[in-house]
Amino acid sequence: MKVISYNVNGIRAAIKKGFLDWLKATNPDVICIQETKAQKEQLDLQLFDDIGYPYHYWFSAQKKGYSGVAVLSKHEPKKVTYGTGIESMDFEGRNLRLDFDDFSVMSLYLPSGTNSLRLDFKLNYMAEFQEYVNLLKKEVPNLLICGDYNICHEAIDIHNPTQNKNTSGFLPVERQWIDQFIKNGFVDTFRHLNKEPHNYSWWSYRANSRNNNKGWRIDYCMASEPLTSNIERAYILPEAKHSDHCPIGVELKF
């Protein structure tokens, strides 16, 4: 199973930049999308059917043009779960899970902490999400949580760790949360197979950051520990340029 995760920073804008041609050529079994910034009725859903994704599910924020996640699949899932059931999280459309025979995959879009109010919201979201996942793993042991976590885990995951030590996305409390999330039974699939520096998944639009590779690795495919032996490949695809993020991928063999 080839699974890709991609924060598209607006699905309609990404489609105008060639996203559908790229998706057809890349040909994952499942793609988890974050920051769709669209309601389902604002999209021509036939476009996804036409390139081989007849199973597509959308969980939008109540606020139009904001947040939102989706999962597109070549294979019909056994079950689809919209949100977490936690009201304080679900109104922003940040979690969507598909269950298949061998594993379940979730598209996750963690909040960013752009100001003190949003940082408080983010930290609360992280705490509630951890509790939710701890229970979910008992029900769904083979779990792949793909998406934009809006956190760099280690210094290797950010181009300038010293300068950004007080910036949301690399705060000690956020890094500690990712650390604990992994210790609670997950594998960072990319770092599991790739130890090299200078691998990022997001770049600011400012100061020619992408061309200079001054980026952050804030997108992850986190696999629950029972899936560790199924991980065949994990990679980042920086050549795809439909967004300020790039896609990441993992291939699982069952």
| pLDDT at res. 81 | 98
Question: Can you give the pTM of this predicted structure?
Answer: 0.98
156: which 2 tokens? 């290797």
- Secondary structure letter of residue 244 according to DSSP: S
pLDDT at 236: 98
Q: In terms of residue numbers, what domain contains 140?
A: 2-252
Q: What is the CATH number of the domain that holds 235?
A: 3.60.10.10
Catalytic residue among 99, 148, 157, 188: 148
Q: What percent of the chain has pLDDT over 90?
A: 99
Dihedral Cα 148, 183, 228, 101, nearest 10 deg: -70
* Active site (annotated) includes residue 50: no
> Across residues 225-252, what is the average pLDDT?
98
Instruction: State whether residue 103 is helix, strand or coil.
Output: coil
pLDDT at 70: 98
Total structural domains within the chain? 1
Band (83; pLDDT cuts 50, 70, 90)? very high
Q: What is the pLDDT of residues 154-210, one digit of tens each?
A: 999 999 999 999 999 999 999 999 999 999 999 999 999 999 999 999 999 999 999
Dump pLDDT digits (tens) for 125-162: 999 999 999 999 999 999 999 999 999 999 999 999 99
Max Cα distance, the chain (Å): 47
DSSP string, 46-76: HHHHHTT--EEEEE--SSTTS--EEEEESS-
Using 50, 70 and 90 to split pLDDT, how confident is the model at 213?
Answer: very high
Strands (DSSP E) contained in the chain are: 2-7, 30-34, 55-59, 69-73, 79-82, 95-99, 104-109, 143-148, 186-188, 202-203, 215-216, 219-224, 231-236, 248-252
Q: What is the mean pLDDT of residues 114-124?
A: 94
54-79: pLDDT as tens digits? 999 999 999 999 999 999 999 999 99
